[in-house]
């Protein structure tokens, strides 16, 4: 199947592109920076095309002939209107263009942020209540996608039904080592700071219960492939690890790897118990269940190696592929 992918060179997208290529699919990767990660363009059946999410004519032309669209790219903004224009508007245009082009399935990358703050154990039926612009634009695009069941013939008059299947993946904290030289890692700086603190013998402090259900990009890529190859429609799937890992546990991993360090881990007491995202649906639909412990160890090791190089005065290439609306 020919699959059109936005954000196919980013933190999650690099592994999604690799997974689909290895499964025998043909991938057209729409990216702001074609050629930045040569390993992606060298994958069997993968072609890169340059373009921005705001270039609607390019998007419309590029999506033609695709069997599926996987929309991972994020259009960022610092204010409500820029977030609306750069992300939600671009996503809605792409889904409409995909339907008109006869695409069979559209997979949208949302986020746990669409649900908002945890209010008990959360599943896909929990009410959306985002508390920031990022969560709001994700929740808004979800609603556009699920509500896009038909066009209007006239004002208030029902029109042609939409044929395209439309599904949503909600990642949580997804991390990765770059899949290829020049590839991306997540933009969160906590792993980087932790590595430097341990190597410089500084104590590290975390709240005792601070953590999440980490999932590696290599693991979540399997969810995208399973969904792309399915006949599902209008499904929302949380994609997170089954195991809750605290930052204190991650700090201990780093300390175990650097026995020469004199750093201490300080866990501040708290009076709350962490809630969980329920991931039963991912297992029920696809037979997938993940524990990211080993992948976290490898990621900690990778960050320690980079921090050693940087602290010894060797410059490092950036692994953060970020969007700017400036």
Q: Is 138 within 8 Å of 181 (Cβ atoms)? A: no
Q: Is the pLDDT of residue 298 over 60?
A: yes
Tokens of 32: 């702001």
Which of 184, 107, 199 has the alpha carbon at shortest distance from 145?
107
Tokens of 26: 């043909």
pLDDT band with cut points at 50, 70 and 90 for residue 322: low
Domains of the chain: 2-172+217-238 (3.40.50.720)
The whole-angstrom separation of Cα 324 and Cα 181 is 23
Q: Is 221 within 8 Å of 19 (Cβ atoms)? A: yes
The total of other beta-carbon atoms located within 10 Å of residue 145's CB is 22
pLDDT band with cut points at 50, 70 and 90 for residue 320: confident
The total of other beta-carbon atoms located within 10 Å of residue 11's CB is 25
151 contact partners, CB below 8 Å, separation of at least 6: 159, 160, 162
pLDDT band with cut points at 50, 70 and 90 for residue 281: very high
Q: What's the pLDDT tens digit per position in 156-215?
A: 899 999 999 999 999 999 999 999 998 888 878 899 999 999 999 999 999 999 999 999
Q: Tokens 């933009």 identify what position?
A: 187
Q: Is the pLDDT of residue 103 over 80?
A: yes
Q: What one-character DSSP code corresponds to residue 311?
A: H
Q: Is 291 within 8 Å of 213 (Cβ atoms)? A: no
47 vs 324, more confident:
47
The whole-angstrom separation of Cα 233 and Cα 138 is 18
Q: Is the pLDDT of residue 326 over 60?
A: no
The whole-angstrom separation of Cα 278 and Cα 281 is 8
Angle at 140 between CA 279 and CA 137, to 5 degrees: 90
SS3 33: coil
- State the average pLDDT over residues 101-109: 98
Q: How many percent of the chain have pLDDT more than 70? A: 98
Q: What's the pLDDT tens digit per position in 205-255?
A: 999 999 999 999 999 999 999 999 999 999 999 999 999 999 999 999 999
The whole-angstrom separation of Cα 125 and Cα 114 is 12
Please, where are the H alpha helices in the chain? 13-22, 38-41, 56-62, 80-83, 90-100, 133-147, 190-199, 217-228, 247-257, 280-286, 293-311
CA 198 to chain centre: 28
The whole-angstrom separation of Cα 149 and Cα 105 is 13
Which class for 227: exposed (0-12), middle (13-18), buried (19 or more C-beta within 10 A)?
buried
Q: How many percent of the chain have pLDDT more than 90? A: 89
Q: What pLDDT does 318 receive?
A: 76
Q: What pLDDT does 323 receive?
A: 52
- State the average pLDDT over residues 258-282: 93
The whole-angstrom separation of Cα 247 and Cα 245 is 7
């Amino acid at each position: 199947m020919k699959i059109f992918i936005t954000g196919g060179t980013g933190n999650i997208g690099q592994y999604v592109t690799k997974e689909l290529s290895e499964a025998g699919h043909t991938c057209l990767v729409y990216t702001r920076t074609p050629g930045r990660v040569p390993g992606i363009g060298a994958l069997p059946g993968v072609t890169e095309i340059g373009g921005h999410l705001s270039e609607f004519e390019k998007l419309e032309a590029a999506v033609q002939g695709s069997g599926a669209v996987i929309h991972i790219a994020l259009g960022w903004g610092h204010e409500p209107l820029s977030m609306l224009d750069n992300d939600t508007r671009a996503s809605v245009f792409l889904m409409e263009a995909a339907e008109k082009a006869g695409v069979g399935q559209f997979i949208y990358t949302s986020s746990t942020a669409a649900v908002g703050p945890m209010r008990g154990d959360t599943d896909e039926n929990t009410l959306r209540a985002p508390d920031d612009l990022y969560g709001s634009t994700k929740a808004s695009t979800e609603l556009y996608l699920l509500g896009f069941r038909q066009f209007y013939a006239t004002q208030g008059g029902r029109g042609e039904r939409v044929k395209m299947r439309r599904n949503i993946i909600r990642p949580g904290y997804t991390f990765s080592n770059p899949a290829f030289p020049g590839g991306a890692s997540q933009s969160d700086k906590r792993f980087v700071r932790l590595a430097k603190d341990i190597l410089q013998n500084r104590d590290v402090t975390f709240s005792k219960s601070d953590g999440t259900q980490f999932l590696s990009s290599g693991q979540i890529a399997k969810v995208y492939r399973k969904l792309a190859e399915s006949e599902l429609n209008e499904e929302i799937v949380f994609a997170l690890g089954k195991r809750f890992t605290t930052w204190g546990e991650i700090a201990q991993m780093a300390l175990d790897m650097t026995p020469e360090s004199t750093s201490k881990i300080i866990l501040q007491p708290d009076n709350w118990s962490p809630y969980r995202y329920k991931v039963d649906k991912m297992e029920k639909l696809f037979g997938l269940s993940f524990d990211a412990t080993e992948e976290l160890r490898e990621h900690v090791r990778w960050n320690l190696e980079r921090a050693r190089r940087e602290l010894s005065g060797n410059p490092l290439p950036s692994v953060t592929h970020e969007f700017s609306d400036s």
